[in-house]
Chain A
Amino acid sequence: MASDRSAAKGAIEESSPDDPELDAALSSGHDLQLKLAQEQNRHTEAMHKADIGFLGRAFGGEKSAPTYIAFIAMVAGLAGATFCWMQAVGTAENPISIETAEFWSKQAERALSFGAAALAFIFGRGAK
């Protein structure tokens, strides 16, 4: 058989390192693989959209929702603190009593703590 191999080598009329038909067949396989991957991705996306529902669409998926909610909580906390401080200060035309000022001041501190905790949560997640 070794001689058959030699004979076969001797019978080669021309040779080339490439075969366009084989390249086309491999490209066609690649194209189909990409098409199937796109279809799979579309299916995964559709399933994800169906899974997250109305609240998920508003707040994002399970990975991003806690961060969005913490951000909303932080904004609410800071806004609440600002509102409470404004109430605690009063105006020249409408002065407030010391008891009322202390009440609003305490509420402002609470709101600020709430906002700061939410901010710490956001930075904590970002550091992971």
Chain B
Amino acid sequence: MTDTLVAPDYVRVKQAVRDIHERFGITTPPVNPVEIARNLGTKVLFARFAEGFGNISGFYDCDDNTIYVNHDEFPLRQTFTVAHELGHKVLHAEWAKSSDYKMLMRDSDYSGSEPHEKEANAFAAHLLVPRFLLDQYWRGNSIEALSRLFAVSVPVIKNRLSIEYGV
């Protein structure tokens, strides 16, 4: 089913995220995607890559059910990387085994048009910065404070505020 995905299904993504929030009793920020991934049975490893591979942000390896994250990446981007790859594991387990799967690169601005990638981005964004928590904190806090509070980068916060509140 996911192999023939032609358009992102955001309803399915939001439902999957909601299930995780409920299952892990998430009520306050920041959401720790590493802890969630490990509790879902996926290993998370912070890796140092050899020269020539430093541009990798992270990837999900189906063979050993592990998310590899670049150790040298900015921590507030690492959270998104882990959540993005977890999204592939949760939503696209079969597709992620295929050659269509692409590793997340550090120079990526998350604006790709591939439906699986769009779903994984939406999964990460909703998982780390859920609307119900954003509702509580977005007024009266600067974007930088929200970035620190939710442990995500400033562009992710800006993107979430723009999508949810049009600001």
Contact = CB atoms under 8 A, between A and B. Distances in A.
Interface string B29-48: 11010100000000111111
B52 interface: yes
Contacts of B141: 36
Interface in B81-119: 97-103
Contacts of A33: 28-30, 149
Interface in B41-74: 43-50, 52-53, 56, 59, 61, 68-69, 71
Contact of A29 (B44, B59, B150): B150
B149 to A, nearest CB: 5
A55 interface: no
A15 interface: yes
Interface of B: 28-30, 32, 34, 43-50, 52-53, 56, 59, 61, 68-69, 71, 75-76, 78-79, 97-103, 137, 141, 145, 148-151
Q: Main secondary structure on chain A at its contact with chain B?
A: helix
A26 interface: yes
A106 to B, nearest CB: 60
